[in-house]
């Protein structure tokens, strides 16, 4: 599908107070009249009013099933749903030879590739390469595939500064490498990986490349054509969209050769008593009634981001991230993980003598939402030598004042638990 | 007392900062392990049963204040009791933490201190981690 033209953006730096007014959830006060400070954006983003309105408008004005109903509502729903494929292709700079498949999210997108592309393409003795900083969603499906096929899974080691060991990566690449699965931006370390360079080296040995863009699409301008990805996957709910709608972009020739993911309605061309033929891509991967409202609202979310401009969002978040790292690192006993020269807004840290779970519970009572745990990256936790970390992850609607509030709350927690 | 002070009562913080029955365990002595994937709590127990009596409970591991204090409190209050009684008490405490029964005011102060955790449903698993592990350790002792 040809991307539709991109709307003009102002090119102005963003006005954070004006943007915050678009997010009704940020206006509330919690735990006894404390302003809500939401710093768990890598887990899921908050939703602007435009997205909430898109959901409401769909359900109040044109709720109907897509692709089948030959009536006014059905036609409107189908048009709204299908138009989002073009919005997505434009937003991610997808080359024309690709196809946007709707899924529930990043995890389902990766499983779709592992279970449809994988069994035909990966044989005993082949290798899949992932990295030591993958989210479990870009690791476990490959472990399962490799076990089934008798293939080997190799993880590119993580350097002390949070970058990937590209020397080891190059050594791992052989003509038996079938796939390189790599995260664009780490959800723990924030590291922006050199995906284009990695993809070029992978293609040189004939391997395909899957890019987990769950943390990059909401944070920076992305261009699938430049990155040379074969599969590019992300979740709508981390980009301001609702839960339940995600994207698997795939090169058309690969998608066409892949068998269906699930059987059922929508994905068929013709059904006989004992067999069926498949619909064209992308429909053969979209069995059953899709998350119509959520897909339409994802389109609204991406248009909202385009209205601000991803360059402006990226520039603002970079400043905010540098501010947060500086403020946290100045606290006694606090160690910040991830020192890659190019990094995103996920700032993971450890407070000496204070378990992340206790910290996150304590700061929550001050109205501050951060994340504590292994962050779905247990191999990386082992590499860092910690059972769990605390993470503040930033978005374009956060402020330096909110980071100051977090830093003050950590100081109080250290005192409360007797380490201050 | 606000919710946070209820969650982290002085008695809990005392057990967290000065855990009882805690020592580095040799692998061969470990009778049960438990992990809470939610927050990365890791706990190991070494349980010695002598005849019908739980002679000693020792623990090590890494984790949040609730999980570590709870292991200390459990070890402190159940050591020396008959196995059958320990089994029954483990069931009672876990049920109370799940809100399936009332806390008994006759229970030790340490147990009652953990009541505040019920207000934070995600933390109930931290508070019961050691108790589930002790159950499993006794299962193993019973079958060997």
Segment A96-118, tens digit of pLDDT: 999 999 999 999 999 999 999 99
Residue A9, pLDDT above cutoff 80? no
Task: Compute the radius of gyration of chain A from its Cα atoms.
Answer: 22
CB atoms within 10 A of CB A95: 16
**Which residues from chain A sit within 8 angstroms of residue B8, using beta carbons?**
358, 416-417
What are the tens digits of pLDDT across the range A32-88? 899 999 999 999 999 999 999 999 999 999 999 998 878 999 999 999 999 999 999
- Are residue A383 and residue A289 in the same domain, yes or no? no
Least confident interval from A101-110, A210-219, B7-16, B75-84: B7-16
Best A354, A355, A360 member to test B by mutation, with max B CBs in 10 Å, is: A355
Q: β-strands A208-212, A231-235: how paired?
A: parallel
pLDDT value of position B7: 84
Q: d(Cα A177, Cα A273) in Å, to the nearest integer?
A: 40
User: Considering A146, A239, A248, A376, which one is annotated as catalytic?
Assistant: A376
Q: A281, A306, A331: which is the final residue of a domain?
A: A306
* Domain range summary for chain B, segments of one domain joined by +: 3-141
CA-nearest residue to B68 within chain A is A355
* Same-domain check for residues A156 and A231: yes
Measured CA distances, A19 to A23, A215, A307, A320 (Å) = 7, 20, 11, 15
Are A387 and B41 an interchain contact pair (Cβ–Cβ within 8 Å)?
A: yes
- My answer on whether A319 and A203 are in the same domain is no
Confirm whether A1 is domain-assigned: no
Closest by CA to A287, choosing from A255, A263, A259, A257, is: A263
Residue B41 and residue A374: Cβ atoms within 8 Å? no
Give pLDDT, residue B121. 87
pLDDT given for residue A11 in this prediction: 63
Q: What CA–CA distance (Å, rounded) separates B60 from B68?
A: 9
* Domain limit, last residue, from A306, A336, A356: A306
Residue B2: what pLDDT? Answer: 76
Tell me the C-alpha to C-alpha distance, in Å, between residue A97 and each of A235, A267, A370, B74.
22, 21, 40, 63
Residue A202 lies in a domain: yes
Indicate if A247 and A314 belong to the same structural domain. Answer: no
Interface pTM (ipTM) of the complex? Answer: 0.81
Do A265 and A146 reside in the same domain of the chain?
Answer: yes
Structurally, chain A folds into a number of domains equal to: 2
Distance from CA of A357 to the nearest CA of B (A): 6
Q: Cα A38 to the chain's mean position, in Å?
A: 18
- Asked if residue B112 has pLDDT above 60, the reply is yes
Q: Which residues contact B99 (CB under 8 A, 6 or more apart)?
A: B118
The mean per-residue pLDDT over the stretch A19-36 comes to 96
Give the bridge partners for A210, in sequence order. A181, A231
The CATH number linked to A322 is: 3.90.1150.10
Chain A / chain B CB contacts < 8 angstroms: 54
Q: Are residues A196 and A112 in the same domain?
A: yes
Please indicate whether residue A146 is annotated as part of the active site: no
- A67 has a chain B CB within 8 A of its CB: no
Residue of B nearest to A363 (CA): B4
- Of A18-22, A31-35, A143-147, A215-219, the least confident: A31-35
Reported as a pLDDT band with limits 50, 70 and 90, residue B143 is low
Residue A82 resides in a domain: yes
Predicted confidence at residue B141, as pLDDT, reads 81
Q: Is there a domain that residue A6 lies in?
A: no
Residue where a domain terminates, one of A306, A324, A355: A306
**pLDDT attached to residue B36:** 82
State pTM to two decimals: 0.91
Which residue range forms the structural domain that includes residue A323? 16-46+309-416
Query: CATH 3.90.1010.10: does it fit domain B3-141?
Result: yes
What would the two tokens of residue A408 be?
């003050």
- Distance in Å from the first CA to the final CA of chain A: 58
Chosen from A388, A390, A416, A419 to mutate, greatest number of chain B CBs within 10 A: A388
Asked if residue A5 has pLDDT above 90, the reply is no
Regarding whether A405 and A275 lie in a shared domain, the answer is no
State which of A262-271, B92-101, B133-142 shows the largest mean pLDDT.
Answer: B92-101
**pLDDT at residue B122, as a whole number:** 85
pLDDT at A344 over 50: yes
Q: Are A44 and A398 in contact (CB under 8 A)?
A: no
pLDDT recorded at residue B1: 57
- A282: preceding bond cis by omega (within 30 degrees): yes
Q: What is the pLDDT of residue A418?
A: 80
Q: Stretch A7-19: mean pLDDT, rounded?
A: 77
Residue A304, pLDDT score:
98
């Amino acid at each position: 599908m040809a991307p539709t033209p991109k709307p003009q953006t102002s090119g102005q730096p963003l006005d954070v107070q004006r943007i915050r007014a678009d997010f009704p959830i940020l206006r509330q006060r919690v735990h006894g009249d404390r302003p809500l400070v939401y710093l768990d954006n890598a887990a899921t983003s908050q939703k602007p009013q435009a997205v909430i309105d898109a959901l409401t408008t769909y359900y109040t004005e044109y709720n109907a099933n897509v692709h089948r109903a030959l009536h006014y509502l059905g036609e409107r729903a189908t048009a709204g749903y299908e138009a989002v494929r073009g919005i997505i292709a434009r937003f991610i700079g997808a080359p024309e030879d690709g196809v946007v498949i709707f899924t529930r999210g990043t995890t389902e997108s990766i499983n779709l590739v592992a279970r449809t592309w994988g069994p035909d393409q990966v044989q005993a003795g082949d290798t899949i390469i992932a990295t030591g900083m993958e989210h479990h969603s870009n690791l476990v499906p490959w472990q399962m595939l490799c076990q089934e096929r008798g293939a080997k899974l190799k993880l590119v080691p993580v350097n002390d500064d949070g970058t990937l060991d590209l020397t080891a990566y190059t050594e791992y690449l052989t003509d038996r490498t079938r796939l390189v699965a790599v995260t664009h931006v780490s959800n723990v370390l924030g590291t922006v990986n050199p995906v284009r360079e990695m993809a070029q080296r992978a293609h040189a040995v004939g391997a395909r490349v899957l890019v987990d863009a769950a943390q990059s699409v909401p944070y920076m301008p992305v261009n699938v054509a430049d990155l040379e990805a074969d599969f590019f996957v992300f979740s709508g709910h981390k980009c301001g969209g609702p839960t339940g709608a995600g994207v698997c972009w795939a090169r058309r020739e690969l998608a066409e050769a892949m068998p269906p993911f699930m059987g059922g309605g929508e994905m068929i061309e013709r059904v006989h008593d004992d067999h069926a033929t498949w619909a064209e891509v992308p429909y053969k991967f979209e069995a059953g009634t899709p998350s119509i409202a959520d897909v339409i609202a994802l389109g609204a979310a991406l248009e909202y981001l385009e209205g601000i401009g991803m360059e402006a969002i990226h520039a603002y978040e970079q400043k905010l991230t540098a501010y947060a790292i500086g403020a946290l690192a100045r606290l006694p006993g606090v160690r910040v993980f991830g020192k890659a020269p190019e990094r995103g807004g996920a700032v993971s840290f450890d407070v000496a003598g204070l378990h992340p779970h206790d910290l996150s519970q304590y700061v929550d009572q001050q109205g501050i939402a951060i994340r504590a745990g292994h962050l779905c990256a247990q191999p990386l936790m082992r590499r860092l030598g910690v059972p769990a970390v605390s993470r503040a992850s930033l978005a374009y609607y956060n402020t330096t004042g909110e980071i100051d509030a977090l830093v003050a709350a950590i100081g109080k927690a250290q005192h409360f638990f007797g380490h201050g | 007392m606000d919710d946070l002070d209820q969650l982290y009562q002085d008695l809990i913080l005392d057990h967290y900062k000065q855990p009882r029955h805690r020592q580095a365990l040799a692998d061969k002595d470990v009778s049960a392990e438990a992990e809470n994937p939610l927050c990365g709590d890791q706990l190991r127990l070494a349980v010695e049963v002598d005849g019908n009596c739980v002679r000693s409970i020792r623990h090590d591991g890494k984790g949040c204040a609730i999980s570590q204090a709870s292991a200390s409190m459990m070890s402190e209050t159940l050591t020396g009791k008959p196995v059958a009684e320990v089994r029954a008490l483990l069931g009672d405490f876990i049920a109370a933490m799940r809100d399936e029964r009332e806390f008994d005011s006759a229970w030790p102060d340490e147990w009652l201190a953990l009541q505040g955790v019920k207000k934070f449903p995600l933390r109930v698993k931290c508070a019961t981690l050691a108790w589930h592990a002790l159950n499993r350790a006794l299962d193993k002792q019973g079958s060997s």
